[in-house]
């Protein structure tokens, strides 16, 4: 199980679980690689996504460096990506000791990338030039 906190990082999965305090859907895209319409999203404010169901066959389609194993995931300040199916209504429940959060199960093909890591991690990365 690998959880990525620093850029660049991405996951590809058949099904993924996402958690965020702010969810932005974007306009659909015609994806030439997948040859279908995809539904982009942006997860914001302390968000995470992890693989619930691996791709079958387990082979990266969008980015060769994507994480592909079950329970692999991303954690960061902003995560963006897209899926073949629009994500359903989020379930809102306790997400941390202080805040509620939206929990979503994103079905069909899911690609997600870390767009902005946590500020503390960014600062450490800059300090030690990681």
Q: Does 65 bind another protein (CB under 8 A)?
A: no
Is the Cβ–Cβ distance between 50 and 81 less than 8 Å?
Answer: no
Q: How far is the CB of 80 from another protein (least distance, A)?
A: 4
How far is the CA of 44 from the CAs of 10, 23, 58, 75, in angstroms?
Answer: 16, 6, 28, 11
Q: Does 26 bind another protein (CB under 8 A)?
A: yes
3-state secondary structure of 53: strand
Q: Which of 5, 40, 60, 105 binds another protein (CB under 8 A)?
A: 40
State the residues that interact with another protein by CB under 8 A: 25-30, 32, 37, 39-40, 42, 78, 80, 86, 88-89, 113, 115-116, 122
């Amino acid at each position: 199980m690998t959880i990525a906190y620093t850029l660049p990082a991405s996951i590809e999965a058949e099904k993924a679980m996402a958690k965020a305090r702010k969810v932005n859907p974007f306009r659909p895209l015609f994806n030439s690689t997948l040859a279908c319409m995809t539904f982009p999203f942006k997860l914001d404010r302390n968000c995470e996504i992890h693989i619930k169901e691996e791709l079958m066959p387990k082979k990266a389609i969008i980015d060769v460096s994507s994480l592909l194993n079950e329970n692999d995931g991303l954690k960061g300040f902003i995560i963006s990506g897209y899926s073949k199916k629009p994500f359903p209504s989020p379930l809102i429940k306790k997400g941390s000791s202080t805040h509620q959060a939206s929990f979503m199960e994103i079905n069909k093909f899911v690609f997600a990338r870390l767009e902005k890591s946590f500020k503390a991690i960014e600062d450490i990365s800059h300090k030690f030039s990681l």
